Every structure is written in structure tokens, then in C-alpha cells.
């Protein structure tokens, strides 16, 4: 009779119902016409169908054990119907606790002539719904990244705790009933201590989201049902499941096609990598363009000959703002990316560290370029030297931009193959601009000797150790997180 109840009171609409129906089919071979249905809802926590059963009309109910028990006055024992007294209710509650503590999702079933009143309790069904193997590791990675995972479920508190412990989620358990008795202010006071919410409805999710936001946290919420939409909309990042309702997807900022928590963590890692590379790209561009302005301004103030011609500046920007800077956008993610704490809410991409880098590099390139420029009396020669040196300095500086707040040795000098390959290629292009007569005319340059080329390469390479020294000084003087 228990298997019959879970088979008839079933829409085959969720993984749980599919599992129940698959099990029941091994026992139940006869089909019984459904007359009506009282659908499941997260508030009621049960479902009832009314079926034509051998000429009689019977109601079959399944749902949360505590709710189904409240609808029952009798129970079936060894094929006989007996009174469901206090001692038997206690035995059932202990059985539920025992099953739930083993991480089983417990469902009760009953039947009767009246729907959800004076019914006959039939028994309990335990379903194991283990998390995917990769979820535990994903939660661990998220924790190291400063991201806290909170479980929100409609399951029994004991089931929720047992699953949470397997996943490494530890903390206080709060039930939907307890949430109902708490004001928004009271929940906000304890929300950071709660790790598991059990027997909650979708409406509770909105309350939980608002409590976390009240504490100043950036909140991401997952959901798949129509009633999850308000919470998904209220969260900083709403995440809908691929198998969820269209309303939930519309209310969300992103949709996880495979319904996998690990995919969310992987997405966070990818997002961090993209943000970091944007930061590297902008830092490289700014630290390359700033000295060009500085060189021209200083030369103007000191009444020096023009160090760089317009066509030369255009070429510098084409080389240094082109392939090398773009190569930074595909720079490999650092191995400890997901061990770094999240950025502060509202933090600018131009942190004090980035500003110090740009100003320091701009000062170094300006001083070195003008210093070398002034050491030559012939203007054409001096301009060619300054032009070539500036190109080389900015090319080598793209390597520095790969390591914003750490040593270049830590990041790995040769990790970005595209960038490494582009530097000698662009040096050859610069060589052609200076040495090939056709280009010399267009760019107003003069040929350089082999000795001068070697000296310029050596001078430009000094920007790497110079920036490394600057980083050491910055780590000693600047506050953490700069």
C-alpha cells in the first residue's frame, strides 16, 4: 500500500518523484484513474491526489513526515489499521530522525476517504540524494577564496545537517518555523552565524538575502522555482538553474546549464581571471602612454628640441598598445587566484598600487629617455635614439604589467607565450623602421650601429629590475591590499 500511495500521488515532475515512481513500478502493476489533485507547495509541504480505487474514491497523500502525521489519526501495521496514538507517533518521529541523520530525504505517505483529514499513515520512504562528487571540492575552493556557502533547503533539519557536514559546511541550523518568528532585524543580527536553513519556503530566501545585504555582504542566490524570483532579483547575483522555471531564469543574472554548484565556482574563477587581465591591460596602456606625455611636456618646459615626432608617437602606440597589450588579455590565471580574498565592494580598478606602478614607470621611462636624448647633439640621431629606446622600454614594461603586486619571478617570465613571442617580433619591426631606407624616410630616422642597438636593448631591459626594486619598496611602505 505504501508503494501504491507514492506511485499514485506522483506527477513524475522532479528527481524525487521520478525515483519514487521508479521504485513503486517494481511493486505496483495496476493503474488507477486520477479524479483530482491538491498540488504540492513549499508552504503546505505535501501533495494529495484523489483516485478511483476498485470502485471506491480514495485520497493518497505524500510529503514531509511531520505534516503528513498531522493529517493522520490511524496507521497501518501488518495490513491492519490501528489507532495512531502518542507512542506510535513518537516511534515514527524517531524513525524519521534516524533516517534523516543518515542524510536520507524522508517522505511519508498516507491514504484515506477524506483528503488530508483522518487519514491512515502508511510509512516512510528514504531517498539518498548525494551531492555531486565535485561539490565538496568546489565549496572548499570557494571558502579559500573568501566566499561563504550557505545551504538553503526544504529538507528536514537533520537531513540538511548531515549533508552539510559531508560537504564541509558547518554552523548553526535555522528552520523555516524559526524564521517565521523572527523579524528582519533579528535575523540580520545572527545571519552570519547561520550556515544551514532547513524546511524553508522560497519566500524565506528573500528574507535571508536581505539579511546578508544588510550586513554589507555581496550576495549570490540560487533558485529554480517561480517563487524564487523575488530572492533572485533582490540578490546582487541571481543564479537560476538550467532546469528551472522561465520566470526564475528571467529574474536571474546568470543561468547554470548543468545545475552544478561547481560550475558557479568555476565561473567565479574565470571572472576573477578576466578582471585581473583587464587590470593588467589598463595598467600597461596607462604606463606606456603617460611617459609619452611626460617626455613632450618636460622637453617643452626645458625648451629642448622635440624628442619625438607625431608619426613616431603613432608608431610607438601602435606597437606597445597593440599586440603586447592585447596579449595581456589572455594572460594565464595565477595558480593562487582562488586563494585571494574578494575585492572590497565598490573598489576601483585603479587601486593605490596601480597608480603607484603607472606613476613610477612613467617617471622612469621619462627620465631615461630624456637623459639619453640629451646625450646626443645631432637632433636626428637623438630623436632616433629616443624613439627606439621608448619603444623598447614600453615593450619590456608589458612584462612588468603581468605582475602587478608580486615579483615577476613568482608569476613566471615565460608563462605568456604570445607576449614573449611578440616582443622579438616587434623589435625586428622597429629595426626595420630605423635601418631600412624606405621606412627611415617615412619615420624621419637615421640608421644606428650594432653597438647602439645593443646598448639601447640593455638600457631598456633595466626597467624590469627597476620595477622589481619598486615593488619591494612598495611592499615595505604601502598598506596591505593596496
| DSSP at 187 | H
Q: Which three cell numbers mark 176?
A: 523555516
Q: Can you list the alpha helix ranges (DSSP code H) found in 228-351?
A: 229-234, 246-251, 261-301, 310-320, 323-328
* Angle, CA of 91, 92 and 93, to the nearest 5°: 90
Q: Consecutive 10-residue runs of the chain (482 residues): their mean pLDDT? A: 89 83 80 90 90 91 94 93 94 94 92 94 91 91 94 90 91 92 94 94 91 94 89 95 90 92 93 93 92 95 94 89 84 90 86 90 96 93 96 94 83 86 93 93 94 96 92 70 44
**Cα dist from 166 to 76, 130, 402, whole Å:** 35, 10, 39
Q: Closest by alpha carbon to 42, among 281, 197, 227?
A: 227
Phi, psi for residue 83 in degrees, rounded to 5: -70, 140
Is residue 61 a contact partner of residue 71, using CB atoms and an 8 Å limit?
yes
| Homologous superfamily of the 2-128 domain (CATH) | Calcium-transporting ATPase, cytoplasmic domain N (3.40.1110.10)
Q: Which three cell numbers mark 188?
A: 540580520
Q: Which three cell numbers mark 427?
A: 623589435
Q: Name beta bridge partners: 56.
A: 53
Which distant-in-sequence residues (6+ apart) come within 8 Å of 385 by Cβ?
372, 373, 376, 448, 452, 456
Phi, psi for residue 200 in degrees, rounded to 5: -105, 160
Q: What is the pLDDT of residue 129?
A: 81
Q: Cα(126)–Cα(102) distance, rounded to whole angstroms?
A: 10
Is residue 76 a contact partner of residue 60, using CB atoms and an 8 Å limit?
no
> DSSP characters for 352-392?
HHHHHHHHHHHHHHHHHHHHHHHT-SSHHHHHHHHHHHHHH
Residue range 133-264 in CATH 3.40.30.10: no
Q: What is the pLDDT of residue 478?
A: 55
Q: Cα(286)–Cα(289) distance, rounded to whole angstroms?
A: 5
**Cα dist from 447 to 240, 320, 385, 404, 432, whole Å:** 63, 22, 10, 36, 10
**Taking the complete model, does pTM exceed 0.85, yes or no?**
no
CA atoms within 13 A on the CB side of 149: 23
Parse the chain into domains and list their residue ranges: 2-128, 133-264, 266-477
Q: Tell me which CATH code domain 266-477 carries.
A: 1.20.1110.10
Q: Is the dihedral of CA 358, 363, 369, 372 positive or negative?
A: negative
Residue found by looking up cell 627620465 in the block = 367
Q: Cα(269)–Cα(79) distance, rounded to whole angstroms?
A: 57
How far is C-alpha 164 from the geometric centre of its chain's CA atoms? Answer: 20
Q: Cα(325)–Cα(405) distance, rounded to whole angstroms?
A: 18
Which distant-in-sequence residues (6+ apart) come within 8 Å of 23 by Cβ?
3, 6, 125
**Cα dist from 160 to 20, 244, 378, whole Å:** 20, 21, 80
Q: What is the pLDDT of residue 481?
A: 47
CA atoms within 13 A on the CB side of 402: 29
Q: How many residues does the chain have?
A: 482
Q: Which three cell numbers mark 267?
A: 565561473
Q: Cα(134)–Cα(129) distance, rounded to whole angstroms?
A: 14
Q: Cα(150)–Cα(135) distance, rounded to whole angstroms?
A: 13
Q: Can you list the alpha helix ranges (DSSP code H) found in 37-105?
A: 65-70, 86-100
Amino acid at each position: 500500500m505504501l508503494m501504491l500511495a507514492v506511485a499514485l500521488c506522483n506527477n513524475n515532475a522532479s528527481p524525487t518523484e521520478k525515483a519514487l515512481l521508479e521504485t513503486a513500478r517494481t511493486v505496483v502493476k495496476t493503474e488507477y484513474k486520477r479524479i483530482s489533485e491538491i498540488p504540492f507547495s513549499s508552504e503546505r509541504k505535501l501533495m494529495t491526489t484523489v483516485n478511483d480505487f476498485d470502485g471506491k474514491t480514495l485520497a493518497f497523500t505524500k510529503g514531509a513526515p511531520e505534516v503528513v502525521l498531522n493529517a493522520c489519526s490511524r496507521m497501518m501495521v501488518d495490513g491492519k489499521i490501528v489507532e495512531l496514538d502518542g507512542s506510535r507517533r513518537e516511534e515514527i518521529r524517531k524513525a524519521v530522525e534516524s533516517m534523516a541523520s543518515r542524510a536520507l530525504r524522508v517522505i511519508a505517505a498516507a491514504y484515506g476517504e477524506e483528503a488530508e483529514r483522518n487519514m491512515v499513515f502508511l510509512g516512510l520512504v528514504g531517498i539518498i540524494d548525494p551531492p555531486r562528487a565535485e561539490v565538496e571540492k568546489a565549496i572548499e575552493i570557494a571558502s579559500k577564496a573568501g566566499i561563504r556557502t550557505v545551504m538553503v533547503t526544504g529538507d528536514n533539519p537533520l537531513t540538511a545537517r548531515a549533508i552539510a557536514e559531508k560537504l564541509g559546511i558547518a554552523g548553526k541550523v535555522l528552520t523555516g518555523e524559526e524564521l517565521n518568528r523572527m523579524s528582519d532585524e533579528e535575523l540580520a543580527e545572527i545571519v552570519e552565524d547561520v550556515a544551514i536553513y532547513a524546511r524553508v519556503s522560497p519566500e524565506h530566501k528573500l528574507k535571508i538575502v536581505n539579511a546578508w545585504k544588510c550586513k554589507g555582504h555581496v550576495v549570490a542566490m540560487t533558485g529554480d522555482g517561480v517563487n524564487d524570483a523575488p530572492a533572485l532579483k533582490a540578490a546582487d547575483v541571481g543564479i537560476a538553474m538550467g532546469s528551472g522555471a522561465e520566470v526564475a531564469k528571467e529574474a536571474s543574472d546568470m543561468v547554470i546549464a548543468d545545475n552544478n554548484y561547481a560550475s558557479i565556482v568555476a565561473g567565479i574563477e574565470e571572472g576573477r581571471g578576466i578582471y585581473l587581465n583587464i587590470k593588467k591591460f589598463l595598467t600597461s596602456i596607462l604606463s606606456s602612454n603617460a611617459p609619452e606625455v611626460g617626455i613632450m611636456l618636460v622637453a617643452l618646459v626645458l625648451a629642448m628640441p622635440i624628442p619625438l615626432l607625431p608619426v613616431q608617437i603613432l608608431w610607438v602606440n601602435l606597437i606597445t598598445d597593440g599586440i603586447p597589450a592585447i596579449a595581456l588579455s589572455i594572460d594565464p590565471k595565477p595558480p593562487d587566484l582562488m586563494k585571494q580574498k574578494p575585492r572590497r565592494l565598490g573598489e576601483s580598478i585603479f587601486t593605490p598600487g596601480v597608480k603607484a606602478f603607472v606613476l613610477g614607470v612613467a617617471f622612469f621611462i621619462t627620465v631615461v629617455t630624456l637623459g639619453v636624448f640629451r646625450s646626443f647633439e645631432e637632433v636626428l640621431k637623438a630623436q632616433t635614439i629616443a624613439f627606439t629606446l621608448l619603444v623598447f622600454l614600453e615593450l619590456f614594461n608589458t612584462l612588468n604589467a603581468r605582475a602587478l603586486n608580486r615579483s615577476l619571478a613568482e608569476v613566471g617570465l615565460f608563462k605568456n607565450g604570445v607576449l614573449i613571442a611578440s616582443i622579438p617580433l616587434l623589435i625586428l619591426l622597429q629595426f626595420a623602421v630605423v635601418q631600412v631606407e624606405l621606412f627611415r624616410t617615412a619615420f624621419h630616422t637615421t640608421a644606428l650601429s650594432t653597438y647602439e642597438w645593443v646598448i639601447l636593448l640593455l638600457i631598456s631591459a633595466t626597467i624590469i629590475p627597476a620595477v622589481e626594486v619598486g615593488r619591494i619598496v612598495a611592499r615595505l611602505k604601502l598598506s596591505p591590499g593596496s
